[in-house]
């Protein structure tokens, strides 16, 4: 068996692992990258990329339906699921070269396509090769979590790992899970012509501000998505006609729905099985590998990033953590993670985005804050595009330090980014209020809500008296 000695061994070729491998190799380190599946990982092949491509197709379909409001001839679009499948995979194929084995070998990375398993604290087996490294980086990602639902073994179902391979018409999709994935897929399939029922065991979009999440849920309801929130005692089965049947109990009573297809979208579980982490003295739980603020595991030669490490399972989090690990490994800097300004987005229509402290967080922690709100109905660009649903909500201290922001509305994922910068740099709301925003843009709403912080003082009776006095001179 061959023994390879390197500086860094990365296990997993998803977004985090690829970032570490590319960065380390280009800065002079000798790197081995091990991947047992597809290069690019979940994000490229079964996650972010195909899901957003599907949402783009659904958005195009909805544009046809709503064209009448602009004086154009509207109609009901016809979905060709074979062509939708082709569209998804053309998008994947366009991005794939950036994550390909050939590209990374061109960067000097030794790519090994095999399953990785630790032999000891400094050695990993990959196929018929042993890799001994100064540092290891675990970037093995996560897989769909499928809960033990009664009767699940009697039905076939989709997860994100296979739903984007579907080429057949979907008559009625039942979605179990009302988080971001479930909501995005529910809207996409509804807009592409399917009936959709969503069953959520807790609250829909539970991690987001309920006031803003309700705007998304109401929009999906208007489009025809049926929701069962707070579902308990779920049971699955098949009807005599071969349909999927789901039964649950809610506060409103017993509920039942039947559909042609089932999607399980109940979260994700870290990929830790099969790595033989015990041999490397790496502590872990079913939730993932345990790491410190520098992303080191209990074996100080081994770092972990991305979904396998948490606490946030986002592609952009894996990329951020990769930078922290590179500074630790290559430059011996005690770089630590800072999760005070982690943004996330649900790519529904309207989009739902958040960063920092929420109103509920502030209340729970007993913080004295100011809550600012600004409706998109007050934005001229939103009016011109007839996209006035939604709002911006900003949390500040009484002195104007920006603590958090949530946005529901068109392009919320883009509009949240100045607030990410503001919170990460500990800026006050005055900085946002004083910037020059081009007109007419949706982003002007960011300036307007920031300016509203000062409205009470600027338009007070005291200021009015002062202005009248000064006008005498």
Q: How far, in Å, CA of 3 to CA of 392, rounded?
A: 56
Taking each helix axis from N to C end, the angle separating 48-65 and 180-191, rounded to the nearest 10 degrees, works out to: 40
Report whether 52 belongs to an annotated binding site. yes
Strands 195-200 and 226-229: parallel
Q: Does the annotation list 182 as a binding residue?
A: yes
Q: Please confirm whether the linkage preceding 311 is cis (ω < 30° from 0).
A: yes
Distances (CA, A) of 258 to 110, 235, 331: 50, 12, 57
Per-residue burial over 225-236, b = 16 or more CB atoms within 10 Å of its CB, e = otherwise? bbbbbbbeebeb
State how far the Cα of 235 lies from the Cα of 232, in Å rounded to an integer.
Answer: 9
Q: Is 250 annotated as a binding residue?
A: no
Q: Who's near 321: CB < 8 A, 6+ residues apart?
A: 16, 295, 305, 306, 309, 337
Establish whether 409 is an annotated binding residue.
no
Q: Tokens 């050695």 sit at which residue?
A: 123
For tokens 């209340």, name the residue: 363
393 annotated ligand binder: no
400 is in an annotated binding site: no
Burial string for 346-370 (b: 16+ CB within 10 Å, else e) reads: bbbbbbbbbbbbbbeebeeeeeebb
Bridge partners of residue 398, in order along the sequence: none
| Contact assessment for residue 36 and residue 15, using Cβ atoms and an 8 Å cutoff | no
- 128 annotated to a ligand binding site: no
Q: Is 141 annotated as a binding residue?
A: yes
Instruction: Tell me if 83 is assigned to a ligand binding site.
Output: no
End-to-end CA distance of the chain: 92
274 is in an annotated binding site: no
Nearest CA to 415 among 386, 444, 373, 439? 444
Rounded to whole angstroms, the Cα distance separating 394 from 358 reads: 8
Is 179 marked as a binding-site residue? yes
Helix (H) or strand (E) holding 327: helix 315-331
Cα 176 from Cα 200, distance rounded (Å): 6
By the 8 A CB rule, do 14 and 39 touch? no
Known binder of ligand: residue 231? no
181 annotated to bind ligand = yes
Are 446 and 415 in contact by the 8 Å Cβ rule? The answer is yes
Helix axes 15-26, 315-331, angle to 10 degrees: 30
Paired tokens of 175: 């979605």
- Output the known binding site for FAD: 52, 140-142, 307
- Output the known binding site: 52, 140-142, 177-184, 200, 267, 307
- Output the known binding site for NAD(+): 177-184, 200, 267
């Amino acid at each position: 068996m061959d023994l390879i000695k390197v500086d860094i061994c990365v296990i997993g070729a998803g977004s985090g692992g690829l970032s570490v491998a590319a960065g380390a190799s280009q800065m002079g380190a000798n790197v081995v990258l091990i991947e047992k599946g597809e290069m690019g990982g979940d994000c490229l092949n079964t996650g972010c990329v195909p899901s957003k491509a599907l949402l783009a197709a659904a958005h195009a379909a909805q544009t046809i339906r709503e064209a009448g409001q602009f004086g154009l001839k509207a109609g009901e679009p016809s979905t060709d699921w074979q062509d939708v499948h082709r569209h998804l995979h053309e998008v994947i194929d366009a991005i794939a070269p950036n994550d390909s084995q050939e590209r990374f070998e061109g960067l000097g990375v030794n790519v090994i396509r095999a399953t990785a398993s630790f032999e000891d604290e400094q050695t990993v087996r990959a196929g018929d090769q042993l890799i001994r490294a100064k540092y290891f980086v675990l970037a093995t990602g996560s897989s769909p979590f499928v809960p033990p639902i009664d009767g699940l073994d009697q039905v076939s179902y989709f997860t994100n790992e296979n739903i984007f391979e579907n080429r057949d018409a979907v008559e009625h999709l039942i979605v179990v899970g009302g988080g971001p994935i479930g909501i995005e897929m529910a809207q996409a399939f509804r807009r592409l012509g399917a009936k959709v029922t969503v069953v959520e065991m807790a609250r829909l979009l539970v991690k987001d501000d309920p006031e803003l999440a309700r705007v998304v849920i109401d929009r999906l309801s208007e489009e025809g998505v049926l929701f069962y929130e707070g579902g308990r005692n779920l049971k699955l089965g098949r009807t005599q006609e071969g349909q999927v049947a789901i039964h649950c109990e809610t506060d409103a009573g017993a509920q039942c729905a039947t559909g042609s297809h089932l999607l399980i979208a109940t979260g994700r579980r870290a990929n830790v099985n099969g790595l033989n982490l015990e041999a490397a003295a790496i502590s872990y739980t079913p939730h993932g590998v345990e790491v410190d603020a520098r992303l080191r595991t209990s074996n100080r030669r081994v770092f972990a990033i991305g979904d396998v490490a948490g606490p946030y399972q986002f592609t952009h989090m894996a990329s951020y953590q990769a930078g922290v690990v590179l500074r630790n490994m290559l430059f011996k800097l005690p770089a630590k993670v800072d999760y005070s300004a982690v943004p996330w987005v649900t790519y529904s229509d309207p989009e739902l985005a958040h960063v920092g402290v929420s109103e509920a967080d502030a209340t729970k922690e007993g913080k004295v804050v100011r809550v600012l709100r600004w409706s998109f109905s007050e934005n001229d660009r939103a009016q011109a595009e007839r996209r006035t649903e939604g709002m911006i909500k900003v949390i500040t201290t009484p002195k104007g330090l920006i603590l958090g922001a949530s946005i529901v509305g068109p392009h919320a994922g883009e509009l949240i980014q100045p607030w990410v910068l503001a919170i990460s740099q500990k800026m006050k709301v005055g900085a946002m209020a004083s910037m020059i925003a081009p007109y007419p843009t949706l982003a002007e709403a960011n300036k307007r809500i920031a300016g509203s912080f000062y409205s009470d003082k600027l338009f007070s009776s005291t200021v009015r008296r002062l202005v009248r006095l000064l006008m005498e001179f």
